[in-house]
């Protein structure tokens, strides 16, 4: 009965989507299925290379710095040259660099490669964000983003599950597989997806304004809060795996399975949940609920009970449902503020928020964990998220041009 409900809900939700939207989502499914190296990066640096946790934090921070530059440049290039070439070049080049990464053991060379790889990996994101809107039929934009998110999470589930298995066998193979899949995704875009320059020019001619995201005060405030949220969000997939390994003594396979719960639940239930709740309350209400649930997920890691596996699963469950509440409406807001003339820059602003979070979160998180303990880190993140939820609430009370958070 439940399976039939899921199937029927998917049919209703995705009817009328363009062929290109489905193909792009298929490419994202392939691409994210190979996303297995980054979640295990901290373990690779500490367990395979024998470096310290602070060194792992440095590597991940450098990934974040490269991501910041990649987001900015990728968004600008998307508005200049189109989303298709940016996606192809970034996916193929990033994949080649990942494979090269697997052959290097010199720590400082790995630091440089981290910057280069993350630059190309993150340049892909704003281009892909713009591509979803570019290929969507009129009136299907939000559902097109939902399909892409579904594909992303299905791919994530496959990636982290296989990543745990591969890491238990050979860490270097993680980077070879990740890079190879990225190359395949870029070639799929080249072969399967059409050039849309004519359609983009037509849409751009219909756009009413070319406001830059930094000229949009409400969007800037929203991004500040979202950056704080993202900083806390990333910690679950960057630092928690090392915590599970060192303090709760889980092996890599079990860690991969625990993380995969996130993608399985999102893939199975997010579209059903969103289709049933989106018209009942304002978007800001669901964003706040999501942020609070993710705060509770870190509280689970603080509970001093000898039931570590149960607590880890509960933490992932709280985290996953928080993500399901918050993320779709955050994405919807970003889409609603942009048009064909500035979509790349708005997408860059949004992905830049994620990139900054990757710099701040891991470096500061590892530092706090090493000097003050993991309990201090988890308590601090939970407290920050509760404050962030209040910040979204205060922002929703402000006056600004539509669309505001209350209009979501």
pLDDT tens over the chain, length 408 residues: 556 766 776 677 667 778 888 888 888 888 887 777 776 777 777 777 777 777 777 887 787 788 788 888 888 888 788 888 999 999 999 889 888 888 887 888 888 888 888 888 888 888 888 888 778 777 676 677 778 878 887 887 788 778 778 877 777 888 888 889 889 989 999 988 877 654 555 555 555 566 777 778 888 888 899 999 998 888 887 788 888 888 888 887 888 888 878 878 887 777 778 777 777 787 788 899 999 999 999 999 998 878 889 999 999 999 999 998 898 888 778 777 776 667 778 878 887 887 778 778 777 888 898 889 999 999 999 999 999 999 998 888 764 444 444 444
Cα(170)–Cα(374) distance, integer angstroms: 28
Domain boundaries, the chain: 13-407
Q: Which residue has the tokens 């590892």?
A: 366
- What are the DSSP E strand ranges found in 211-252? none
What residues contact residue 90 under an 8 Å CB cut-off, 6+ apart?
70, 74, 120, 121, 123, 124, 127, 186
pTM over 0.85? The answer is no
Greatest CA separation for the chain? 62
pLDDT at residue 314 in the model: 94
Confidence at residue 139, expressed as pLDDT on a 0 to 100 scale = 67
Token pair of 323, please? 């993500």
Distance CA 127, CA 74 (A): 7
Which helix (H) or strand (E) segment holds residue 70: the answer is helix 53-81
CATH number of the 13-407 domain? 1.20.1250.20
CA angle 93, 96, 98 (to 5 degrees): 110
């Amino acid at each position: 009965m439940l399976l039939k409900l899921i199937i029927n809900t998917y049919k209703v939700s995705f009817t009328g989507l363009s062929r290109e939207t489905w193909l792009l989502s298929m490419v994202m499914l392939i691409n994210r299925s190979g996303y297995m190296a980054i979640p295990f990066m901290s373990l690779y640096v500490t367990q395979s290379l024998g470096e310290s946790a602070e060194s792992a934090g440095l590597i991940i921070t450098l990934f974040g710095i490269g991501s910041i530059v990649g987001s900015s440049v990728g968004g600008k290039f998307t508005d200049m040259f189109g989303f298709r070439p940016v996606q192809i070049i970034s996916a193929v080049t990033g994949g080649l660099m990942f494979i090269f990464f697997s052959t290097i053991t010199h720590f400082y060379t790995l630091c440089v490669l981290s910057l280069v790889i993350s630059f190309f990996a993150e340049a892909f994101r704003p281009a892909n964000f713009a591509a979803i809107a570019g290929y969507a039929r009129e009136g299907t934009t939000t559902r097109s983003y939902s399909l892409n998110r579904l594909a992303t999470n299905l791919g994530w589930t496959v990636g982290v599950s296989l990543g745990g298995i591969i890491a238990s066998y050979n860490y270097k193979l993680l980077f070879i597989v990740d890079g190879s899949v990225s190359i395949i995704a870029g070639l799929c875009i080249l072969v399967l997806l059409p050039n849309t320059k004519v359609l983009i020019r037509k849409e751009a001619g219909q756009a009413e304004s070319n406001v830059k995201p930094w000229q949009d005060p409400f969007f800037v405030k929203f991004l500040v809060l979202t950056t704080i949220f993202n900083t806390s969000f990333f910690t679950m997939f960057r630092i928690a795996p090392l915590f599970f390994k060192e303090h709760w003594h889980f092996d890599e396979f079990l860690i991969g399975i625990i993380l995969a719960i996130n993608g399985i639940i999102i893939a199975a239930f997010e579209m059903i949940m969103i289709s049933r709740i989106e018209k009942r309350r304002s978007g800001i209400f669901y964003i706040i609920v999501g942020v609070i649930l993710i705060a509770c997920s870190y509280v689970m890691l603080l509970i001093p009970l000898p039931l570590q596996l149960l607590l880890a699963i509960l933490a992932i469950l709280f985290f996953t449902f928080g993500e399901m509440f918050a993320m779709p409406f955050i994405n919807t807001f970003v889409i609603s503020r942009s048009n064909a003339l500035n979509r790349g820059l708005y997408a860059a602003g949004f992905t830049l928020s994620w990139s900054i979070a990757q710099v701040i979160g891991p470096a500061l998180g590892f530092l706090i964990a090493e000097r003050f303990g993991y309990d201090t880190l988890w308590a601090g993140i939970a407290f920050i998220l509760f404050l962030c939820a209040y910040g979204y609430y205060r922002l929703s009370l402000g006056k600004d041009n539509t669309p505001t958070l209350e209009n979501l």
